[in-house]
Amino acid sequence: MKFEKFGIIFCILTLVLGCGVSNYDRGVNFLGKEEFDTAIPYFEAAINSGVNTAEAHRELGITYYKKEMAQQAANHLRIAVKNSRKDSRAAFFLAAALEKNGSFDEAVDAYREFIKLNSSDAIDHDVKSRIVLVKDQRDNQFVQEAIAGELEANSGKISDNRIVAHYIEVIPGSEDPVALQKSLTSLLISDLAKVDQIDVVRRSLLQKLINVIDLDQDAVFNTKNINRIGRLLRAKNVISGKIEEASDGRLRLNLFLNKIKSNEVQPISTPEGEQNDLFDLQKALVFSILESLDIRPVGTLKKALLKRETESMSALILFGQGIDSADRGDYAAAVKLLRDALSEDPDFELAKKVLNDAEAHEIARSQDLSIIETKVVRRIESQSAIHDRFSRMDSALTREFAPPTAADATLEGDAPPPKTPITIIVKQ
C-alpha cells in the first residue's frame, strides 16, 4: 500500500514538473539546436493554445532575431515585454532587435528599460556604451535621410521651436581658434538646452552633418551653407556670429539670427566685453539670443543660465581640443584631453559629461553585440532557470501535447498524446 501511494505521488509530481514535452518545450529544444525553422511552428502552436504565452512570444521573437528577421522579432518581443515587464531576457532582445531594425529611438528606450532590470555592473557598463553607439546610428540615419530628401518637396518640414546654434567664428589671433569655436558653441548649446521653449539641435548632430556634407573650415561660416544646414536640420532659425578684437583691445561680438524660411539675416544686439572676460561674453551671447527669440528668463532659469561652467581658460581650450578629437573619431586622444581639462578645473560639469560620452564611444567602437548578448543570456539563464520552471507548473497539466503539422517529427521517446482525460484515484 505504501509503495502504491508513493508511485501515485511520484506520477503526480512528474506531471507537474514537466513529465510531458509541450510545444513550448519542443520549440526551446529546437531553438537551442539552432533549428530555427523547426522551432517557429512549435512556438506559434504554444501561443495559439494560450499556454506560456509571454514566454512563447519571447522565444519566438528570439528565434526570428537569430534568423535576422528583426521586424518580426521586435513584434513578438514587444508582446512578451508588455505581458511580463520584469522579463530581462525579453527586454534585452527587444532592444537588440529594434537596433538591428533601425528603430534607434525605440532601441535606446528599450536598452534603458533593460538596464533597470539588470543587476550586473559589467553588463550595465556594456549596455550604456551600446546606447551611445545606437545614438550615433540614429544621428547617421537622420543626416543621410535629410540629405537624400533635400530636393524633395516635403523635405523642409520646419519645426517652429527648433534652432541651430552654429559655430561662433573666433578671432584668428586666438589660441587654437578651432578649440575655442567648439568649446564656446558647446557652452552656448548647453545653456540654451535649459530653456523649455526652444529645441536646440545637439552640437554632435550639427558636426555630423558638417562632416557628411564635407565642409571645410572656411565653408562652415558661409551664409549659403548656414542656411542649408538649417534646412537639413529642420530648424526655423540658425544662430551664427563672430568674435573679433577691436583696435582698443575689447572683444566685439557680431551675432545674427538666420531665418531659414525667408532667408533673412537679422542682426542681434550684443554687448562688448573685455579681452580677458570671454566667459562673461559667452553668457551675454546666451541672453542676447533669447531676447531675439522674445524669451526673457527669470528666477531659477535665469540663475541657472548665469552659472559659469568654468572660469579656467586652459580648461576651456583643452575641452575644445577634446571635442575636436572626438569629432575626428580619435576617442583615445579625446579622453586624455578631457581628463586634462578636468585636472585644470575639477568642477567643469560639461567636460565630465563629454568625457563620459568619449569613454563610452571608445568602448563601443570595439564592441560586438553578440558578445554582450552571450553575457546577458548566461547571466539571465543562471538566475531564471528555476523561476521559469515553476512559473509553468500551474499550466503543466493543461498543455497540448500534439505538435503542429508544419513541424518536424516528434522527439525520440515521446509518448503519444492522451486521447481521454487522465483520472488519478488515490486508494486509502
Residue 13 lies in a domain: yes
Q: Which of 214, 254, 210 is nearest to 233 (CA)?
A: 210
What pLDDT does 261 receive? Answer: 87
Which residues are CB-neighbours of 322 under 8 A, at least 6 positions away? 333, 334, 335, 336, 337, 338, 340, 341, 351, 354, 355, 358
Which residues are CB-neighbours of 191 under 8 A, at least 6 positions away? 283, 286, 305
| pLDDT for 263 beyond 70 | yes
- Host H or E run for residue 301: helix 299-306
Q: What is the CA radius of gyration of the chain?
A: 30
Beta bridge partners of 257: 239, 266
Please tell me whether residues 41 and 175 are part of one structural domain.
Answer: no
> What is the CB-side half-sphere exposure of residue 4 using CA atoms within 13 A?
6
| pLDDT for 423 beyond 60 | no
Domain boundary among 291, 308, 325: 308
Relative orientation angle of helices 349-365 and 121-148, to the nearest 10 degrees: 90
Residue 339 lies in a domain: no
Please tell me whether residues 29 and 101 are part of one structural domain.
Answer: yes
Mean pLDDT of 331-356: 96
Interstrand relation of 264-268 and 251-259 (parallel, antiparallel or unpaired): antiparallel
Evaluate whether 57 touches 77 at the Cβ level (below 8 Å): yes
| pLDDT for 373 beyond 80 | yes
Please tell me whether residues 183 and 54 are part of one structural domain.
Answer: no
Please tell me whether residues 132 and 184 are part of one structural domain.
Answer: no
> What's the 3-state SS for 213-238?
CCCCCCHHHCHHHHHHHHHHCCEEEE
Please tell me whether residues 97 and 137 are part of one structural domain.
Answer: yes
Residue 262 lies in a domain: yes
Please tell me whether residues 192 and 83 are part of one structural domain.
Answer: no
pLDDT-derived band of residue 81, with 50, 70 and 90 as boundaries?
very high
Q: Which of 393, 396, 397 is nearest to 421 (CA)?
A: 397
What pLDDT does 22 receive? Answer: 87
Beta strands across the sheet bearing 159-170: 199-200, 159-170, 235-245, 251-259, 264-268
What pLDDT does 158 receive? Answer: 80
- The grid coordinates of residue 287 equal 541672453
Please tell me whether residues 256 and 388 are part of one structural domain.
Answer: no
Please tell me whether residues 110 and 172 are part of one structural domain.
Answer: no
Residue 59 lies in a domain: yes
Which residue in this structure is represented by grid cell 580648461?
A: 315
Please tell me whether residues 298 and 190 are part of one structural domain.
Answer: yes
Evaluate whether 235 touches 162 at the Cβ level (below 8 Å): yes
| pLDDT for 66 beyond 90 | yes
Residue 148 lies in a domain: no
pLDDT-derived band of residue 8, with 50, 70 and 90 as boundaries?
very low
What CATH number should be reported for the domain holding residue 71? 1.25.40.10
Q: Which domain holds residue 22?
A: 2-142+369-398
Task: Give the predicted TM-score (pTM) of the model.
Answer: 0.77
Residue 166 lies in a domain: yes
**Main-chain phi, psi angles of 408, to 5 degrees:** -65, 175
Please tell me whether residues 122 and 163 are part of one structural domain.
Answer: no
Q: Which residue has the higher pLDDT, 222 or 266?
A: 266
Residue 101 lies in a domain: yes
Residue 41 lies in a domain: yes
113-172: pLDDT as tens digits: 999 998 888 888 899 999 999 999 999 999 999 888 887 655 557 888 899 999 988 876
C-alpha span between 234 and 150 (Å, rounded): 11
Total domain count, the chain: 2
Please tell me whether residues 183 and 117 are part of one structural domain.
Answer: no
Instruction: List C-alpha distances in Å: 398 to 225, 389, 419.
Output: 68, 15, 13
Which residues are CB-neighbours of 45 under 8 A, at least 6 positions away? 23, 400, 403, 404, 407
Percent of the chain with pLDDT over 90: 53
What pLDDT does 393 receive? Answer: 55
What pLDDT does 169 receive? Answer: 84
Domain boundary among 290, 308, 326: 308
Least confident of 4-18, 52-66, 171-185: 4-18
What CATH number should be reported for the domain holding residue 302? 3.40.50.10070
Please tell me whether residues 163 and 88 are part of one structural domain.
Answer: no
Mean pLDDT of 392-420: 49
